[in-house]
Amino acid sequence: METVRTEAAAVLGYASSDDIDAELPFRDLGFDSLAGVELKNRLVARTGLDLPATLVFDHPTPAELAGHLTGRLRGDTQPTLPDSLEELRRLEVALESAAGDEELRREVTGRLRRLLDRWSVPAQAAAEAELPDLDQASDDEVFDLLDRELGTT
């Protein structure tokens, strides 16, 4: 707890960790995205843990953050999100900070759409593979499909 409060005070320019209320949300203490990243970087340096840029949003009070870090240092807890989801969270934070750049917005939007299209294809293909060819299906097969889809079987 003292480490979190000390580093938070340093980020905000406070003279003492006593100025940091452990139960007050970071945003109410004056943290923004940049301050959150700075705190994360300081805590990485102090703990050696791999921490996400969204740390103060994931653990919104110094007390919650201290509890999370204590658990991670003891090996009691693992990061709460799979790596791919954590990367998405980092991307969200980065995109929020670049929201005013229209050229970048168009480029990122196009790439995200292509990624989403590729990501969606396997699930869509699997769903289509389960459907019989209705042109070749018997009446009983069509009615069985309808019963399954409507939940009447």
- In the predicted model, what is the mean pLDDT of residues 40-47? 94
8 Å CB contact between 62 and 26: yes
Among residues of the chain, what percentage have pLDDT more than 70? 78
- Compare 134 and 126 and report the one with higher pLDDT: 134
Domain 2-74 = CATH 1.10.1200.10: yes
* C-alpha to C-alpha distance for 104 and 125, rounded to whole angstroms: 32
Query: Which residues neighbour 33 within 8 Å (Cβ) at sequence distance 6 or greater?
Result: 93, 96, 97
List the domain boundaries for the chain: 2-74, 98-150
Q: Which band of pLDDT confidence, cut at 50, 70 and 90, is reported for residue 144?
A: confident
10-31: per-residue pLDDT in tens?
999 999 999 999 999 999 999 9
- In the predicted model, what is the mean pLDDT of residues 55-79? 85
